[in-house]
Amino acid sequence: MKHLMQQLLKPIGIYPLVYFRILFGLLMFCEGVGGVLIDWVQEHYVEPTIHFGYIGLEWIKPLPGYGMVYVYLLMALLGLFIMVGWHYKVVSFLFFLLFSYGFFSEKTHYLNHHYLIMLVSGLMVLLPAHRKLSWDVRRRPELETEVAPQWTLWLFRVQLLLVYFYAGVAKIQPDWLAAKSMSIWMSAKTHFYVFGPYLNTPAMIQLVVWGGVVFDFLIGFALLWPRTRMVAFWVAFCFHIFNSAVFHVGVFPYFMIAANVLFFSPEQIARWFFRREIHPKALAQQPLKQPRWQLRLGAQFFILYLSWQLLFPLRHFFIPGDVNWTEEGHRFSWRMMLRTKRGAVYYLVKDAATGQQQTVWPHNYLAKEQLRELPKHPDMIWQFAQFLKEEYRRQRMQEPEVYAISSLSLNGYPRHPIVDPNVNLAAVSYTWGAKSWVTPRPEADGWPWKKWMATEDVEKEEAR
């Protein structure tokens, strides 16, 4: 442990942090402005009249009216301030708070890259990325330093390695290896100009499926190893550009490209981006300006934070059921593009006192994106049932019972109910982990492994 602490506190060149501060700020400016210009913010925050918060955090509500538009524009401005290092600590903390607020106030549009940006923005608050080439240094020259503790760089490297690696772990499942989800994704891309018709070919689909597994498992380690680092970087560059062109995932591919540069040595980053020559042996002799207790606290945070990131994405392995069906443990686990779901749900509201029954259609309450996501997520189905319970109580129904009538197709398999239609969701308390009112994924879908391996038998069953 002593040797580990010595390595984490070893002085290295600060230029990787400066580089990432500049690129991160610029990308966050693009994220904020772009979200408003393409009406993404308006679609997800302004148009809906009901919002789905995270269980336990439902008290976090989006601002009314166009309030969230102003929040995103403010985040864009803060991104510019981060880029130039103007009041960096305060500004980066404000950005982290605002981004986290937007993230937790509406989960309908959960994306892994938003979660990653939120994490990284929080980490940026703790790092001395403003102590070189910043407005803060111009105002207070005593802040300037050439070195930072080594843990500040390895914090990003290990975080990125875990994102890639766990994306690979998630792909070791029958549906991905059988190209169930990818075939559906690619069939929707054939209209693309020039290369569209080639995306839905068997060869391309198999290349993406198996290439994705190999890439996710190996790319992080290849970036760590100096001998393969340059080749790995350009492979990752092409991979992320392909994702940007085909799947339109916002700034995420460019964020990952910018972050992958951090796998190169501080000397290379200083030379390529700042035309500075630094020498590791000389830097190792320079003192770090922070107090010793702060440095040790930072190194301890490094160990605790990455331990959490190592363990938390694995929680779904300890929850019964297929995570692609139940969604238990899907969020915050780097599970990307593994399932395509199509479904529908409506509700029956019964008055227990009179026996009267009404059919409720969610489209009378929800926005377009919410309607698409509602049938896919049992927790959202439950939350809307709670909303209907309170809604009908306001209409003076004494004992409303709420039943969800659902149907869901996962990765192109036949539709099945995802929620037990005989359970009164109004009387059910939400619990973490497996839930009795969420139906198990039908084995007719080719699950578990023994059924998936018997490919011919599954195809005959589907044909019948």
Q: Could you tell me if 389 and 317 are in contact, meaning their C-beta atoms sit under 8 angstroms apart?
A: no
Cα dihedral 314, 100, 53, 419 in deg (nearest 10) = -20
| The pLDDT of residue 444 | 63
Q: What residues are paired with 14 via a beta bridge?
A: none
* Burial status of residue 308 (CB atoms within 10 A of its CB: 0-12, 13-18, 19 or more): exposed
Q: Could you tell me if 19 and 148 are in contact, meaning their C-beta atoms sit under 8 angstroms apart?
A: no
The C-alpha atoms of residue 48 and residue 50 are separated, in whole angstroms, by 5
- The structure's pTM equals 0.92
pLDDT at 461 over 60: no
Residue 369: how many CB atoms within 10 A of its CB? 16
pLDDT digits (tens, 9 = 90+) for 72-98: 999 999 999 999 999 999 999 999 999
Segment 55-71 shows an average pLDDT of: 96
| The pLDDT of residue 447 | 53
DSSP secondary structure string, 396-425?
T-SSEEEEEEEEEEETTPPPB-SB-TTS-G
Give the burial string for 238-259 (b: 16+ CB within 10 Å, else e): ebbeebbebeebbbbbbbbbbb
Query: What percent of the chain lies above the pLDDT cut of 70?
Result: 95
pLDDT digits (tens, 9 = 90+) for 355-394: 899 999 999 999 999 999 999 999 999 999 999 999 999 9
Q: 153 falls in which pLDDT band (50, 70, 90)?
A: very high
Tell me the two tokens of residue 60.
């976090």
pLDDT digits (tens, 9 = 90+) for 257-313: 999 999 999 999 999 999 999 988 788 778 787 777 777 888 889 999 999 999 999
pLDDT digits (tens, 9 = 90+) for 19-51: 999 999 999 999 999 999 999 999 999 999 999
